[in-house]
Structure 1
Amino acid sequence: MARSTRRPGHRPHPETPRGAPRRTPARTFLRTADGVPVDAVYEPGPADRDPSDLVFVVAHGFTGDADRPHVRRIAAAFARHGAVVTFSFRGHGASGGRSTVGDREVLDLAAAVAWARGFGHARVVTVGFSMGGSVVLRHAALYADDAAAGTDAVVSVSSPARWYYRGTAPMRRLHWLVMRPAGRLVGRYGLRTRIHHRDWDPVPLSPVAAAGRIAPTPLLIVHGDRDGYFPLDHPRMLAEAAGDHGELWLEPGMGHAENASDEALLHRIGDWAVARAG
């Protein structure tokens, strides 16, 4: 279960009984199951909506964080449809720990979802981009039976289908960044991302394997036909694994992840979430 610790300069979120949701913005550090402090932000959404209704939990891409302009833009778009929780994955922004590039980040997301439910929201939709897109898939598969930390619908944008993909130039550069000491220095000082030096052991459940285990939770897979990181075989593999409970949107002219997601797409995703999250 997520625990919150005080963030200097910000008002922490107190224990919030179910049935007594607040409409007050909040920012705090959550404590993950493995003890990592995760910076998290709650925004209550439109004043005319039932405060117990839908909350979006946004999982950013690699090198993002809760304060990055592209993450704030995503949050603002979803705030028209419900409350929003954003957070910084471990090794990113003000959060502690080091990035494991999609492995233990599932614990960060579980803590954020549990915190979101603590505000009284009956329905949670997780929305992930790129690395975050793979994390929301694994989270939905691994926490399907967890009433506190599980999700009611999943949106995965620009996610890989399989690990260790090096078929594009951007992914070859990313592997250098993650695997080489010089690359990790660039990540730390150039991209404000602290990357763990250890290899995965064991290798986590792949996104495509996770997609096959999410049913009956609704799943939306979104991918641009101009994605420079992951070509279209990735979303198609995910959709095939998901079967009838998954939907695939192939977006003409769209590139990769948050920066390529325009306002119209974000509002379509918001409408889908409102309709499908229970």
Structure 2
Amino acid sequence: MSSRPAGQKGPSAVQPITPVERRVTVHSTLRTQDGVAIDAAYHPGADPGVPAPDVAIVLAHGFTGDLDRPHVRRAARVFAQHAAVITFSFRGHGASGGRSTVGDREVLDLAAAVEWARSFGHAHVVTVGFSMGGSVVLRHAALHRGRTEARADAVVAVSAPARWYYRGTAPMRRLHWLVTRPAGRVVGRLGLRTRIHPHEWDPVPLSPVESVPLIAPTPLLIVHGDRDPYFPVDHPRMLAEAAAGGAELWLESGMGHAEHAADDALLGRIANWATSSPS
């Protein structure tokens, strides 16, 4: 990993290779502050009459996802009915460079995507993260409050963990095997298109629950399913409690985990919240 702290500004965080055009879908490679190439796409919205043309939603996918995964593309299509949308692949995922740090340096990937959204002229940028991406949007909002070009104007965390190293469910124990064992990382690279960094965090990054108190007054929405097989409902409740009244909590009946479990109706409700949340 780079030795630069996650929130520290570095040289030229965003270097799009494709010219900006407002009404055309744009594909680009962004450069993060630590020099990682990030595969990204800008979707200008369903049509010129989209209800919130000044709003852009930056979609942060979950672990082992990328911008070309069907569930990520479906979420982007629903969001694009309400606003412009940035999708991107976190480092180590899909066509992006680098290796996944499972929520640590990914804050820099999100910062590059937010800055790119602002380069299109959007005054209101909302970050929406799923699972690992949910932890990243929380940490990003806490670490980038003072940087106008990289800050989020509102934040949505869907199916996010509250704390690190959680192994209380079978899916999370399998995920820890994938991340921490050499054989698991081979499975991740060959079977899941996810290249995982082999070293432990040093230092351990700010956790999601530690990040939440630093986000206010930025509007924050926490969304979680009561049937989530990865993170039980004590996780969203811990996050909401840490916000001390500064977050809205939606506990969704019957919902499982992240993008796969979020149906179009829920995604539409999230987009409505994102486009109506105050700056």
TM range (shorter): over 0.9
User: Which residue is 2:119 aligned to?
Assistant: 118
* Deviation per residue, 1:14-60 (Å, 9 max, x gap): 3x5xxxx7222100100000000000000001311478510000000
Cα distance in 2 for residues equivalent to 1:72 and 1:31: 22
Given that 2:52 and 2:275 are in contact with CA atoms closer than 8 Å, whether structure 1 keeps it comes out as no
Amino acid at match of 2:150: A
Return the offset for 1:157: 0.1
Amino acid at match of 1:225: D
- Corresponding residue for residue 15 of structure 2: 4
Separation of aligned partners in 2, 1:237 and 1:106 = 21
Query: What TM-score, normalized to structure 2?
Result: 0.93
Quote the Cα distance in structure 2 between the aligned partners of 1:204 and 1:152.
23
Task: Report what 2:29 is aligned to.
Answer: 29
| Partner amino acid, structure 2, of 1:144 | R
The answer on whether the counterparts of 1:124 and 1:277 sit within 8 Å (CA) in structure 2 is: no
The 5-angstrom pairing of residues 244-263 of structure 1 reads: 244-263=245-264
**Separation of aligned partners in 1, 2:25 and 2:52:** 12
Q: Are the counterparts in 2 of residues 2 and 115 from structure 1 also a CA contact under 8 Å?
A: no
**Aligned residues of 1:51 and 1:121 also touching (Cα < 8 A):** no
Query: What secondary structure does 1:212 align onto?
Result: helix
- The answer to whether the Cα contact below 8 Å between 2:43 and 2:84 also exists between their aligned partners in 1 is yes
Identity %: 70
Cα 1:191–1:277 shift into 2, 3 Å: farther
1:107 is aligned to 108
Question: Which residue does 1:9 correspond to in 2?
Answer: none
In structure 2, distance between residues paired with 1:118 and 1:2: 12
Does the CA-based 8 Å contact 2:222-2:247 persist in structure 1?
A: yes
What runs of 5+ residues in structure 1 fail to find an aligned partner? 7-11
Distance apart, 1:277 and its partner CA: 4.2
SS in 2 for 1:248: strand
SS in 1 for 2:66: coil
Matched residue type, 1:186: V
TM-score (norm 1): 0.94
Offset, 1:5: 5.1
> Following the alignment from structure 1 to structure 2, what is the Cα–Cα distance between the partners of residues 245 and 100?
29
**Is 237-246 or 84-93 further displaced after alignment?**
237-246
What residue number does 2:57 align with? 56
Would you say the 8 A contact 1:52–1:120 is kept in 2?
no
Q: How far apart are the structure 2 equivalents of 1:52 and 1:67? A: 24
Q: Which residue of 2 aligns with 1:40?
A: 40
Indicate the residue corresponding to 2:94 in structure 1. 93
Which secondary structure state, in structure 2, belongs to the residue aligned with residue 109 of structure 1? Answer: helix
Asked if the contact 1:22–1:51 (Cα under 8 Å) also holds between the matched residues in 2, the reply is no
2:267 equivalent to 1:266: yes
> Match of 1:189?
190
**Matches of 1:5 and 1:79, distance apart in 2:** 21
User: Does residue 144 of structure 2 align to residue 143 of structure 1?
Assistant: yes
- Gaps in structure 2 of 5+ consecutive residues: 1-11
How far does the alpha carbon of each residue in 1:61-90 deviate from its partner, in whole angstroms, 9 at most, with x for none?
000000000000000000011000000000
Q: Alpha carbons of 1:261 and 1:52: their partners in 2 closer, same or farther (altered >3 Å)?
A: closer
Aligned to 1:157: 158
CA contact (8 A) 2:110 2:140 kept: yes
Alignment coverage as a number of residue pairs: 267
Residues 90-147 of structure 1 show CA distances to partners (whole Å, capped at 9, x for unaligned) of 0000000000000000000000000000000000000000000000000000001111
- 1:213-255 per-position Cα deviation (integer Å, ceiling 9, x unaligned): 1000000000000000000100000000012220000000000
- Counterpart residue number, 1:217: 218
- 8 Å CA contact retained: 1:106, 1:136: yes
